Amino acid sequence: AAERKLPQFREEVKRLGLELEKLRRILPSTRNTEEIIKKIKSLVDQGEFTLNRLSFPPLGAQSSDPYVEWPIAVAVDGRYHDLAILFNRLGNFSRIMNVENISINAIGNQDNKTISSQFTAKTFVYVEQKDTPAEGEAKPGGK
């Protein structure tokens, strides 16, 4: 009976593998700093912003959740409506990207750029949970 169901099991494994790949794009297990720099730089260039700061602090503290927060500090000069478009496009990334702690100030000399904005683009990194043996169980390789 198991042999007859083998093709069905293989198809299920293939389907689950594709689903896992899709979910890893949304919540990857690596930081992918280079990819994020390229995407943010591309969005900044599209909106005709001046990128003043893009800093990547260390990952947040590990909690009981299977992910850690990764806040990215961004500072740009540009136009107000372009900033709204930038936020919308950040929200459309394939990976989770939230914008918070937004600060917007008017620029004194408003030739082409009218505002200066600082914000945190927060994304997340999946962290594999380490299996901890239950009390009384021996650890692998232990006596």
* Top-confidence residue, 51 or 19: 51
In the chain, the amino acid numbered 7 is P
pLDDT tens digits, 65-105: 677 888 889 999 998 888 988 888 888 877 778 889 999 99
Using the predicted structure, report yes or no on whether residue 18 has a pLDDT greater than 60.
Answer: yes
Residue 48, C-beta contacts closer than 8 angstroms, at least 6 positions apart: 78, 79, 82, 112
In which band, very low, low, confident or very high, does the pLDDT at 46 lie, cut at 50, 70 and 90? confident
HEC secondary structure over 39-99:
HHHHHHHHCCCEEEEEECCCCCCCCCCCEEEEEEEEEEEECHHHHHHHHHHHHCCCCCEEE
Average pLDDT, the chain: 79
Look up residue 30 and give its two tokens. 């690596």
How many Cβ atoms from other residues are within 10 Å of residue 17's Cβ?
10
What percent of the chain is predicted at pLDDT more than 90? 13
pTM confidence score: 0.67
